[in-house]
Amino acid sequence: MNLSIAHLGPSGNHSEQAALFYVNWLTKTTREQAILCPYPSIAQSIRAVAEGKVQLAVVPAENSIEGSVTMTMDAMWQLDNLQIRLALVMPIVHVLISCATDLGNIKIVYSHPQALAQCQGWLERFLPNVQLMATNSTTEALERLETDLSAAAISSERAAQLYNLPTLASGINDRPENFTRFWVVSQNKISQNKVSQNKNLEEQSLISQSDASHTSLAFSVAANVPGALAKTLQVFAHLGINLSRIESRPTKRSLGEYLFFIDIEANFKEPLLQSALTELLTYTEVLKIFGSYNVLSTDVI
Amino acid sequence: MNLSIAHLGPSGNHSEQAALFYVNWLTKTTREQAILCPYPSIAQSIRAVAEGKVQLAVVPAENSIEGSVTMTMDAMWQLDNLQIRLALVMPIVHVLISCATDLGNIKIVYSHPQALAQCQGWLERFLPNVQLMATNSTTEALERLETDLSAAAISSERAAQLYNLPTLASGINDRPENFTRFWVVSQNKISQNKVSQNKNLEEQSLISQSDASHTSLAFSVAANVPGALAKTLQVFAHLGINLSRIESRPTKRSLGEYLFFIDIEANFKEPLLQSALTELLTYTEVLKIFGSYNVLSTDVI
């Protein structure tokens, strides 16, 4: 049976590209076949995994310019039984797609607001007088380009190929160091990944791949306990465990109450990390472990 | 001379409401008069202060549901000489505005995507079959309501009054605990608020109000130094200083490199915090202190 993989649609966007990279890698390494299932939102892609409608989802976790993808964080926290299988780091390259024969004929440029923002310098230099128009995705406006020769869209090279449209300029993002990190998410093999005080941490080790380099987790702390955050961070600092990322999200219950998402440069099975997590349990309200996984750069695929 | 206060426009949105609250409070407490200056973006509102075009800006810092306002964080980091004078916590109440005589006649609802998301449950219950249409602000679609009786918009009570339009339902947000924290930002009285290793911290105390309860700062750490984040957090944990918030933002240089924004429940002038900041200097690359300030709940204005 083919693996089914959810991602944010429509075809041609960066989430689909990341999912395709993953499928190619999977086919090469395990000979497994997969089909892609586009969903209208990131939350729905992740929910499809939690509900067993698909086996995997490939979702953006953070971008080097824009930061965390909050929809992904919120869905990972709200849904149970999810684990991260792999992280994919993909370079983001924006191209200008248009049927205009010359840049001088372009009067309007469509794209997602993030893409427009990331190409602002290029646009000011080469298309200073055009109108910029925000769309819901980088591919939404592509259909109208064939009939409107004064229009252009900022999208990906793959989208240009898919829609059979010409690329007028490539690599137009202002910062060449533009990467997005995606997560490949599956159901957790064990029925519950909320770790409670009474649950043996050993059970959690099932979700760790033995050679995996990173571990992700999230936790809430009891509300209005002074020093609660400092205490949890001290656990890691005290044991010399490096956090590669810490991100706070609101609990949505009350202003000033947060969840914390942490990425750790260590395998869940390492004794030091096990010690830290056991200690962490005494300071946290809910602790969710998303497993240990490797990071794959899509440059090498 | 009247104070000039920048805020995100157009009129009727929550930033303008927060700015109005501040003006009322200012008039009551200091008899100072102020005029409001709407700007097309949050970044431009803050830039107007940095460039001396206005004296103050009132900008959203975080919402209890959606989290941090990343544009505000990024602008505060990128621009120099800014300080926070006051924090305002304002309840967000969404209302449904329409010229329709009955909910049953509504076919389309316009609003900002965040407002639509925050009223999703109410919309599913009372308007399950309408089309939801995203706009750039909660006030953008109001002008078309008078001529289109099948349209509605989610906005604020104040917007309904400003545009002289009827409110069909009030308090339609799914979570009543919906608050936004705004910052009142001014120029820093001293010429530079980037603290370097060679600069006396004492100079910084100029930007602290003596009775202020909170201090905000941001810092970057030297890239690729293992444990750099843990060390900086340990400084506060070690001295028992409570951080009420920690937020990471990408440096935009490279994936995995972060800045950290920290809110501390202490006055900058307190000796314990001065000790922490002196120690913090040894671990940070750039440290920016946004001053100490009080938090005002707009409920009591």
Domain range summary for chain A, segments of one domain joined by +: 3-91+179-300, 95-170
pLDDT at residue number B222? 75
| Among A230, A245, A252, beta carbon nearest to B175 | A252
**Which residue in chain A is spatially nearest to B174 when comparing CA positions?**
A252
List C-alpha distances in Å: B64 to A2, A73, A256, A257, B92.
42, 15, 7, 8, 10
Q: Does the fold of domain B95-170 match that of domain B3-91+179-300?
A: yes
Tens digit of pLDDT for each residue in A209-233? 678 999 999 999 876 565 677 678 7
pLDDT at residue number A252? 86
pLDDT at residue number B190? 57
pLDDT at residue number A299? 67
Residues A106 and A169: beta-carbon distance below 8 Å: no
Higher pLDDT, B232 or A96: A96
Higher pLDDT, A84 or A189: A84
pLDDT at residue number B141? 86
Contacts of A134 in chain B (CB under 8 A): 136
Contact across the interface for A229 and B246, Cβ inside 8 Å: yes
Distant-in-sequence, close-in-space partners of A173: CB < 8 Å, separation ≥ 6: A92, A93, A94, A118, A119, A122
CA–CA separation, A179 and A176 (whole Å): 9
- What would the CATH number be for the domain defined by A3-91+179-300? 3.40.190.10
Contact across the interface for B258 and A242, Cβ inside 8 Å: no
**Which residue in chain B is spatially nearest to A74 when comparing CA positions?**
B66
Tens digit of pLDDT for each residue in A99-138? 999 999 999 999 887 788 889 889 989 998 888 887 777 8
| Among A70, A247, A256, beta carbon nearest to B248 | A247
Contacts of B272 in chain A (CB under 8 A): none
Tens digit of pLDDT for each residue in A23-38? 999 999 888 889 999 9
Burial class (CB in 10 A: 0-12, 13-18, 19+), B212: buried
CA–CA separation, B14 and B159 (whole Å): 9
| Residue B137 DSSP symbol | S
| Among A230, A246, A254, beta carbon nearest to B64 | A254
Sequence-ordered alpha helix ranges (H) in chain A? 14-30, 42-50, 70-78, 113-118, 120-126, 157-162, 201-204, 228-238, 271-280
What is the architecture, at CATH level 2, of domain A95-170? 3-Layer(aba) Sandwich (3.40)
Q: How far is CA B229 from the centre of its chain?
A: 25
Distance (Å) from the alpha carbon of B229 to chain A's nearest alpha carbon: 7
| Among B230, B241, B254, beta carbon nearest to A237 | B230
Distance (Å) from the alpha carbon of A240 to chain B's nearest alpha carbon: 7
What does the pLDDT profile of chain B (301 residues) look like in tens digits?
789 999 998 888 889 999 999 999 999 988 888 999 998 888 889 999 999 999 999 999 999 988 889 889 999 999 988 999 999 999 999 999 999 999 999 999 998 877 888 898 899 899 988 888 877 778 888 989 999 999 999 999 989 999 999 999 999 998 888 899 999 999 986 544 445 444 445 444 445 567 899 999 999 987 656 567 767 877 887 788 878 888 889 988 888 888 999 999 889 889 999 999 999 998 899 999 999 999 999 864 4
Burial class (CB in 10 A: 0-12, 13-18, 19+), A53: middle
Confidence of residue A196 (pLDDT cuts 50, 70, 90): very low
Residues B238 and A237: beta-carbon distance below 8 Å: no
pLDDT at residue number A300? 46
Mean pLDDT of A248-256: 86
Residues A3 and A56: beta-carbon distance below 8 Å: yes
pLDDT at residue number B226? 58
Which amino acid is located at A274 in the chain?
Answer: Q
Confidence of residue A206 (pLDDT cuts 50, 70, 90): very low
Reference B261, options B293, B282, B284; nearest CA is B284
Interface of A with B (CB under 8 A): 62-68, 70, 89, 134, 136, 175, 177, 179, 181, 226-227, 229-231, 233-234, 236-238, 240-250, 252-256, 258, 260, 265
